[in-house]
Structure 1
């Protein structure tokens, strides 16, 4: 039972981790909580459905299309809703983020309707038995894709020039700009990366649960934000760890008979971590940029 629930929790937690990475990267550079990020995840799921059902694309091509569309949307949101407010008070971009979130939720509800939409079974699922543990083919694909994306992100951040620029901007983007770094380009690239990962998470959740709806980004985004804070907001490894930890805790709570409280588990963990380790599991105090 333990190992079975651990696998299930890691599968769910990997999708939380993908969304949490967007929160933590954006916060690490411009100190903004992008509350519209959950809606980017939702749009990615819907684009994946359209790509698979209407255009009859392979699921991996559909995943790429969803990531591309969400990159365009994410960068556009940053340019329109956040960039003009970058030098304003801290509250102004936060209100703008909430407004964008509500706008995208309402727009998708008008387009697709408020009801849930079935995600077609795009993979001939089969079960693999390893001792007493049963793993589905869909779970294996989700774990491989999520791991590949997270490893790819780490390689970008550590070894590519744009990744080094992101790290410099996260320390102090004013000083980084004085040293020749195009901060606007770095911020746009950060939103693009986060949006692509969120879209991938949306498609994976659709594959896993076979159902999506226009408000799915609200709770998933909130839980991913909790995961980012659990791991340490601004820390990329922390976001990954926080997402996995949250997924395992949520599935474990359901297995113990507390299914009715599965959403409360995330917020309880958040409160406990903030009480005893306010910077998160792997976080460090971030100097306020003025």
Structure 2
């Protein structure tokens, strides 16, 4: 019985971690699906979102209204930042070779990290993140942390909203059209620039939410905190099939569950190795990812 409870507890932990990976991975996969760009600065958007939440929660406390205000402020700031990055860093290189955009994305990532380190109100030192009071909830004789429940529920809510935006709204249809054929979408009267900017903003909103949830679950913030979650989320996006929204969600959950089970039953030292080993195995069997589709290119 104890083994069963431990398995369920690790499954809940995996769903919590996987939810955060999935939220961040959605930003990678949406941007890649439209402009074929791996935005390596995405993890640092998460860092900015976590710090925005940190300033709000430090000033107003960790009650539900303050937490809601932290999400709203963080999402707005990250959306504006992402639109500015897209406008001035990525848009001029849209027709350039992909390597140029990739190097630019790495440069933007370094600028955000080191810019945060020199800002007087952030600085290079880690800070303790203000979190709600932690307590356990008994669900079917299994004790679950309220933080894990908050992360799972809010992540599911954000993913449902994203799914509605993509599949049910006019802007979502424009995103799918631009992703399918940018030139044809432009000829049909769709503003490609506005659609791409909205996609960057939407991905940044999810990264901001993921940043606050990640900092709540692992209560410490520093200028390089987005590097490893960003890398893991990129792995999740590739695992599920880069460019596929359901694939990013699935990849995030697979990665989170695999990582927590490895920490719980083997050793935390093997967690990263297992995560990347799963990616290698999946790509050997299905190079496009679990839910990715292979496209033929005419020569």
Give the corresponding residue for 2:202: 193
**TM-score when normalising by structure 1:** 0.96
Deviations 1:159-211 (A, max 9, x none): 10000000111111111111111110110000000000000000011111111
- The answer to whether the 8 Å contact 1:231/1:239 transfers is yes
Q: CA RMSD in A?
A: 1.6
Q: What secondary structure sits across from 1:203 in the alignment? A: helix
Q: 2:92 aligns with which of 56, 80, 84?
A: 84
Q: How does 1:159-198 map to 2 (within 5 A)?
A: 159-198=168-207
Q: 1:277 aligns with which of 283, 286, 291?
A: 286
Distance 1:2 1:213 in 2: 32
Q: How does 1:17-32 map to 2 (within 5 A)?
A: 17-32=22-37
Distance 1:151 1:109 in 2: 35
Question: In structure 2, do the counterparts of structure 1 residues 265 and 113 end up closer, same or farther at CA, with 3 Å as the change threshold?
Answer: farther
Distance 1:97 1:235 in 2: 21
Q: 1:60 aligns with which of 64, 68, 93?
A: 68
Distance 1:215 1:261 in 2: 22
Deviations 1:241-281 (A, max 9, x none): 10011000000110122201222222111111111111111
Give the corresponding residue for 2:46: 41
Distance 2:298 2:127 in 1: 43
Give the corresponding residue for 1:224: 233
- The answer to whether the 8 Å contact 1:172/1:289 transfers is no
Distance 1:208 1:246 in 2: 17
Distance 2:116 2:133 in 1: 29
* Unpaired segments ≥5 residues, structure 1: none
Give the corresponding residue for 2:3: none
Distance 2:221 2:284 in 1: 34
Distance 2:200 2:138 in 1: 40
**TM-score when normalising by structure 2:** 0.93
- In the alignment of these two chains, the number of paired residues is 289
* Unpaired segments ≥5 residues, structure 2: 1-5
